[in-house]
Amino acid sequence: AQSVTQPDIHITVSEGASLELRCNYSYGATPYLFWYVQSPGQGLQLLLKYFSGDTLVQGIKGFEAEFKRSQSSFNLRKPSVHWSDAAEYFCAVGARSSASKIIFGSGTRLSIRP
């Protein structure tokens, strides 16, 4: 069974600073990987996903993530954060099967310091 760990519960960064949110997964093979964002009072929106191919994935809003098989990681990065990036971020993993559960991590809350 797959599982996801997001070790950082809450991160605060200054506006304009770079950001990296950590995600580690457990799965016996190469999984499908996702990052979702949830702004306050809003639903979940997909930022980016990895299925195969290039291990550096570009997403919306200037985010990117890198799949590292050797480290079982899929960390999310942004070179310069904006105040509107304040939200909760969830990493998720799906098994390589058509009938696949999608399992989420516990989330990382991002605050932006003006």
Partner 1 sequence: DVKVTQSSRYLVKRTGEKVFLECVQDMDHENMFWYRQDPGLGLRLIYFSYDVKMKEKGDIPEGYSVSREKKERFSLILESASTNQTSMYLCASSPALDRNTEAFFGQGTRLTVV
Residues making contact with partner 1 (CB under 8 A): 6, 9, 32, 34, 43-44, 46, 49, 51, 90, 92, 94-107
CB of 45 to partner 1, least distance (A): 8
Please say which residue, 5 or 15, places its beta carbon nearer to partner 1.
Answer: 5
- Tell the burial category of 105 from Cβ atoms under 10 Å away from its Cβ (0-12, 13-18, 19+): buried
CB of 65 to partner 1, least distance (A): 14
29: Cβ contacts below 8 Å, ≥ 6 apart: 95, 96
Please say which residue, 25 or 32, places its beta carbon nearer to partner 1.
Answer: 32
Structure-token pair, residue 58: 């570009």
* 82: three-class secondary structure by DSSP: coil
Please say which residue, 6 or 78, places its beta carbon nearer to partner 1.
Answer: 6
